[in-house]
């Protein structure tokens, strides 16, 4: 609620303060890093609340919201990005709207497998997503950004004393370089699968904790 919003916006404020020495041309963080500090602030807040909270229902709610948000931001947006690329390839070859709808339904089938029953009407869901029409090839940044925060959070949990100055360097960079190079200067290799696996491990641990709470209820 309000506390989470405050943590999010304070993250933006810290990011802006650290990057304030840049000119107007290099102050703004590139899209994949723009929500980094704000989202990192949120995960720090939830981590602290879980440490303090003793009521299991409240802990379950905190974890569920975080896992649900992670799916919406990582899994769902990644599949949106895959569909968008597929749709542009299909359109270049003369695909119809019905063809695109069929491709989208196939995308959902891969995404959810047999975990839910998928109504055929969902094949038109893509029509309601404004990013596809107004800001093409934007949604990848949601998935990249959220998983990046989880991967950075893993580094923070492993050795926060080593991590903190590197993270400050990332935020202080503003938009003075491409995201890959900003992260590389901080000693982070985004081409290494193990870096991203660290982010998935953070998410996996959240799911494990949530399932453990459900098992006790």
Q: Tell me: the pLDDT tens digits for 191-202?
A: 999 999 999 999
Return the exposure string of 51-90: e unless at least 16 CB atoms fall within 10 Å of the residue's CB, then b.
eeeeeeeebbebbeebbeebeebbbebbbbbebbebbeeb
Output the pTM of the full model: 0.91
Output the domain CATH number for residue 110: 1.10.1370.20
Whether 8 and 42 have beta carbons less than 8 Å apart is answered as: yes
Q: How many domains does the chain have?
A: 1
Q: Tell me: the pLDDT tens digits for 43-52?
A: 999 999 999 9
| Extended beta strands in the chain, E state | none
Instruction: Tell me what pLDDT residue 73 has.
Output: 94
DSSP 121: G
Full residue range of the structural domain in which residue 202 is found: 2-216
For the chain, the distance separating the N- and C-terminal CA atoms, rounded to the nearest angstrom, is 25
The confidence band for 187, taking pLDDT boundaries of 50, 70 and 90, is: very high
């Amino acid at each position: 609620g309000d506390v989470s919003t405050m943590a999010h916006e304070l993250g933006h404020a810290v990011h802006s303060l650290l990057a304030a020495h840049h000119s107007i041309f290099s102050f703004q963080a590139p899209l994949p890093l723009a929500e980094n500090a704000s989202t990192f602030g949120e995960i720090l807040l939830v981590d602290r609340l879980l440490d303090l909270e003793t009521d299991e229902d409240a802990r379950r709610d905190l974890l569920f919201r975080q896992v649900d948000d992670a799916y919406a931001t990582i899994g769902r947006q990644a599949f949106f990005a895959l569909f968008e690329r597929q749709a542009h390839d299909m359109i270049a070859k003369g695909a119809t709207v019905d063809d695109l709808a069929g491709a989208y339904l196939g995308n959902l089938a891969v995404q959810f497998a047999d975990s839910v029953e998928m109504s055929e009407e969902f094949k038109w869901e893509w029509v309601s997503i404004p990013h596809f029409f107004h800001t093409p090839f934007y949604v990848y940044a949601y998935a990249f950004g959220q998983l990046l925060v989880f991967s950075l959070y893993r580094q923070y949990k492993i050795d926060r004393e080593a991590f903190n100055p590197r993270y400050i360097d990332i935020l202080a960079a503003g938009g003075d370089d491409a995201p890959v190079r900003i992260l590389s200067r901080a000693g982070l290799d985004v081409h290494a699968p193990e870096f991203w696996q660290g982010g998935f491990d953070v998410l996996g641990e959240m799911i494990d904790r949530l399932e453990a709470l459900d098992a006790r209820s």
